Amino acid sequence: MSCLDDKRLKMTLKEFHKLFFEELSLKFAKNELDSFFFILIKHSCDFERIDFILNPKVDLLKDQENFLINSILLLQKETPVQYIVGQTEFMNLNFTVNKNVLIPRPETEELVKWIIQDSEKGKNILDIGTGSGCVAISLDKYLPECQIYAWDVCAKALEIAKKNAKNNKSSVKFEMVDITKKIKSKSMFDIIVSNPPYVTQSEKNKMHNNVLLHEPHLALFVDDDKPLFFYKKILDFSKTNLKKNGIIYFEINEQFSKDFNKLLKEEGFYDIEIKKDFRSKNRMVRAYKL
């Protein structure tokens, strides 16, 4: 965009702030832009909100300026800001993210907190479909006396997860496993957790472009005629590899919560609890194996 190219001169942070809002105010709400702006200057300049307020006229270095102007171009293409800076926060930990992994959501934090609240020492916990590793690594950090395992079918996602484990000094044991295949494993688990693909293809038209155009579809979508496909596969595995009275936790699609509750009962689970997220949607399930 030529008007942005013309701005690739020496700028102050205040001048960039003005440009940032001029270029993006028609596309995003002000509160969103405020959030994006401070994420970007924290990443590129190590400036917090208070630093900007106290010293808005600081000159940008050339590489900082180039990054920030390029960020405008990426935001115009609806690239998630987390992918622009290459990281995000989850459970007060930093995670590297890119187009190969989903950006962790706050409702998933609620699921992790539920598991932490319930868990006892010395449990074997398996996270199926780990993606960035945010669930498994968070459990490892907050439940240090438990052994955490994490599986994913995507090699590139596992690379990111292992990097995140190293950066967070976590000892999660990662493995490439396709849960849709027949799995022969002698390992027994006290807890299985999963946030599998649960958005149906017909729901695509309700999704924002920042998700639809940039986040990995492999981790998001399931066929309309098989909305519980991945849950059934995980429950099949749990028949042989989840201990008696073991617990299973899922993040779910709210529109299938009743169907899933019925499925769990049919598969021999008891004390099934469906919990609402902060948006009052049926989003999390906990159930015990007979």
Give the residue ranges of the chain where pLDDT is below 70.
Answer: 1-9
Residues 4-45: tens digit of each pLDDT: 555 555 899 999 999 999 999 999 999 999 999 999 999 999
Residue written as token pair 């405020």:
34
Rg (the chain; Cα; Å): 21
User: At what angle are helices 134-142 and 155-167 packed, to 10 degrees?
Assistant: 30
Q: What are the residue boundaries of the structural domains of the chain, listed by start?
A: 2-77, 91-289
Torsion angles phi and psi, residue 124, rounded to 5:
-95, 120
Output the pLDDT for position 218. 87
Output the pLDDT for position 208. 86
Whole-angstrom distance, CA of residue 48 vs CA of residue 41:
7
pTM (2 d.p.): 0.92
Output the pLDDT for position 2. 42
Cα-Cα-Cα-Cα torsion 191, 121, 117, 241, nearest 10 degrees, comes to: 0
Domain 91-289 top-level CATH class: alpha beta
106 contact partners, CB below 8 Å, separation of at least 6: 278
Q: Report the greatest alpha carbon distance in the chain.
A: 67
